[in-house]
Amino acid sequence: MSQLLLDDTIKLRALEPEDLELLYYWENNPTIWEYSNTLAPYSKFVLRNYLENAHKDLYEAKQARFIIELIDEKEAIGTIDLFDVDSHNSRAGIGILIADEKHRNKGYAGKTLELLKVYAFEHLGLHQLYCNIGEDNLNSLKLFQKSGFKITGKKYNWLKKRDTFKNIFFLQLIPE
């Protein structure tokens, strides 16, 4: 495998048909929905179709999802996505999930983000990455800011969560 998508502990790999059950579990976990803006469960049929089309060209699909895998354990621990890939404006959104709490706060998300930044900027030649993070999601804000992302805006009452609305920060990374 190319050194582009791995380091000493993790690798970013393409989706495989064998990932169906794992994606089904992650995508249908209500505790994650708040961060992914998911409103309803995904069927295995929908996820199977997604997996069958995951090989499409990045610029045709306007997205790419990678499985985050621990190298030694050969264990999938999450996903990282490029979405809304805009070739004209040379930018993409980014989202990351470390699915199981036992793998959080161990540096895996930071390493994953660094690998994807190299892929996005050096391999794809993108000009910028961006993300939207809820103002109460302090761990994600810290992660992205530590990785060089800057808060460049705030969207007020942007997301409805139960009976209240939440603000989100818009963050951008534009390499110098």
Question: What's the average model confidence in pLDDT over 40-60?
Answer: 81
Is CATH 3.40.50.1820 the right assignment for the domain spanning 3-131? no
For residues 94 and 108, is the Cβ–Cβ distance under 8 A? no
* pLDDT at residue 2, as a whole number: 54
Domain ranges of the chain: 3-131
H-assigned helices in the chain: 20-27, 30-36, 44-52, 58-61, 108-118, 138-146
Query: CA angle 155-39-128, nearest 5°?
Result: 45
Q: Which residue has the tokens 């983000």?
A: 113
pLDDT at position 3 over 60:
yes
pTM of the prediction?
0.90
* pLDDT at residue 1, as a whole number: 45
- Which band of pLDDT confidence, cut at 50, 70 and 90, is reported for residue 56? confident
| 62 against 117, higher pLDDT | 117
Question: What's the average model confidence in pLDDT over 73-102?
Answer: 96
* pLDDT at residue 50, as a whole number: 80
